[in-house]
Amino acid sequence: MNREELNEEFNKNANTAPRQPKPLRKLKRIDNTRTAQPVYHALHEAPSIDISIEEEKPKRRAPEPKQTYHGLHEKGRAGDVVESDDFDDFDDYDNGNEKSGKKSKKDAVIKTVSILLSIVTIILLFLNMPILWYKKKGQPDQKVSIIKYFKLWQPLVDIEGELEKSQVNLNVDTNVVTDDFTDGLDLPQLVEGQYTVLFLGFDEDQELTDVIWICQFDIAAAKLHILQVPRDCAVPNYTSNPTTKINSVYYEGYDQEVSKIQRVVNCIQDNFRIPIDAYITTACFDIVDIVDLVGGIPIHLDNEIIYEADKIIPAGDVTLTGAQSEWFVRFRHEWLQGDIGRVQNQRRFMAAAMQKMLSIVKDEGKMKLYSYLNTIYKNKWIATDMSVDDLSKLADFGSTLKMENVSVNMVPGEDAIYYAADGVEYSIYSIHKRATIDMLNESFRPYQNPLLMSESNIIEYVQEYEYQYDLYDDTGATFEELETATEPLRNPDMKPWWKED
């Protein structure tokens, strides 16, 4: 169709129907007065673009179909189809919960242990930090940790005081104690290899030292040597008491410028030349509490002991109570040799007490022994300049000793009569000097040079050429031998009147 034909067709349609006007589109007027100003951006600054992101709504999970439980022997309803894989899924689910529960418990235990270990580590680090000043007479001040301070602590030293150790002539044998020599036990020793403790037992008035034992722990040789000093030993240069007996040195010693315990230590060191590292003192009534604490001391008595009319210890195998132990160690009335008989009988008590200590360690453990020591400390049943750590180390060392490696000796001598300046006669014990020096060199100076006669201050009231007997010059015995030892000889004339035939 050409252009003319199109025009004719258009005119035809226009003539047949009325022409409707075409509506105009409404236009908005542009306001040129409020044109937005362009915002300046720095060279490297990106224009800010507000982008709003519509949060995605969580899709709703379709409810899971309920499962019907069927018992082990219950048949499914008609039309129910149960596949074997379904049971496998349930098993896996249960196992998963069980494993998850176990894992969570394990994780909780691990976390708890880790926290506890961390706390313990922090506490140990704090306890080992040097934050306390430790001061001791004769030693420079030092900064120590809380643990070290506790080990060095001497809670009972104020009762008797510290010892002055600088005045002791050690005379160490350098052929034995070389520069690299050590006994393996860290103690404040005067002589490496040994540690010597002076043990004193007081009477009721706590003035006379009726029990004097020198306990030398030969640490390097794993032995213990005990020297019994009879209370009647004459030491005229050390006491103002007219009896001149060594048991009066503590209360009536000449040297009033030193402590009471120091007087006794000086007397022991000057006469026997045994360096004293520490001391332990106790009263006779404290023995009662100590023995009762450990449950008594088992011992065999050949005959009954009548301390007083109403204080009797039966014969046979007995376990001495605290009160009976006091009667036993103090009894001397019926012994033929008086105080020497009492000293000999005390050996049997020492051996029985040693056996008791070993049985405690064996049956109840060392911690039980340490708990007993702690109780003794707290109740102040003893006085000592030893620290808690020192006493524990010695107790530990003693618990490893064998009975055959513990020996006891008595200072050699004989009974004598001393005529005082006031004309009064006193019964004393005159020390045999040469026999004493020989015994000391043999048993009590393993790491020192031999002691010479001129180096000892012992005074003899009975001269060597006038000796009446040498019965007590060799009284050494081991604790193993003392376990089967019999009692000392008795004086039939001293038998109680109600026991007389």
Residue 89 confidence (pLDDT) above 60? no
Is residue 428 within 8 A of residue 245, CB to CB? The reply is yes
Is residue 314 within 8 A of residue 301, CB to CB? The reply is yes
Per-residue model confidence as pLDDT tens digits over 114-169: 888 777 777 656 555 655 545 555 556 655 555 554 455 555 666 788 888 767 78
Rounded to whole angstroms, what are the CA distances from 152 to 195, 213, 244, 354, 360?
A: 17, 25, 38, 26, 26
Considering only CA atoms, which of 325, 370, 376 is closest in space to residue 349?
Answer: 325
Whole-number Å distance between alpha carbons of 403 and 356: 12
Per-residue model confidence as pLDDT tens digits over 397-423: 999 999 999 999 999 999 999 888 888
Per-residue model confidence as pLDDT tens digits over 418-461: 888 888 999 999 999 999 999 999 999 999 999 999 999 999 99
Whole-number Å distance between alpha carbons of 243 and 252: 11
Torsion angle defined by CA atoms of residues 387, 389, 393 and 399, in that order, rounded to the nearest 10 degrees: 90
- Dihedral sign for Cα 395, 396, 402, 405, please: negative
Return all residues near 184 (Cβ < 8 A) that are at least 6 apart.
219, 220
pLDDT in the model for residue 226: 97
Rounded mean pLDDT of 377-386? 88
Return all residues near 392 (Cβ < 8 A) that are at least 6 apart.
370, 373
One DSSP character per residue, 414-446 reads EEEEEE-TTS-EEEEEEE-HHHHHHHHHHHT-T
Residue 62 confidence (pLDDT) above 70? no
Residue 344 confidence (pLDDT) above 70? yes
Share of the chain above pLDDT 70, in %: 71
Tokens 């003893």 belong to residue: 382
Q: How far apart are the first and last CA of the chain?
A: 177
Average pLDDT, the chain: 81
Is residue 413 within 8 A of residue 339, CB to CB? The reply is no
Considering only CA atoms, which of 401, 483, 405, 471 is closest in space to residue 443?
Answer: 405
More confident residue, 246 or 256: 246
Whole-number Å distance between alpha carbons of 431 and 410: 10
Per-residue model confidence as pLDDT tens digits over 280-303: 999 988 999 999 999 999 999 999
Rounded to whole angstroms, what are the CA distances from 281 to 161, 191, 211, 278?
A: 12, 22, 10, 10
The length of the chain, given as a count of residues: 501
Per-residue DSSP letter, 336: T
Whole-number Å distance between alpha carbons of 74 and 82: 12
Return all residues near 396 (Cβ < 8 A) that are at least 6 apart.
366
> Is the entire prediction scored with pTM above 0.75?
no
Consecutive H or E run containing 144: strand 142-144
| Structure token digits, residue 276 | 């004293």
SS3 content of the chain, % helix, strand, coil (to 5): 40, 15, 45
Instruction: Give all domains of the chain, ordered by start, each with its CATH number.
Output: 171-499 (3.40.630.190)
Q: Report the greatest alpha carbon distance in the chain.
A: 184
- Other C-beta atoms closer than 10 Å to the C-beta of 396 total 14
Per-residue DSSP letter, 59: P
One-letter amino acid of 389? D
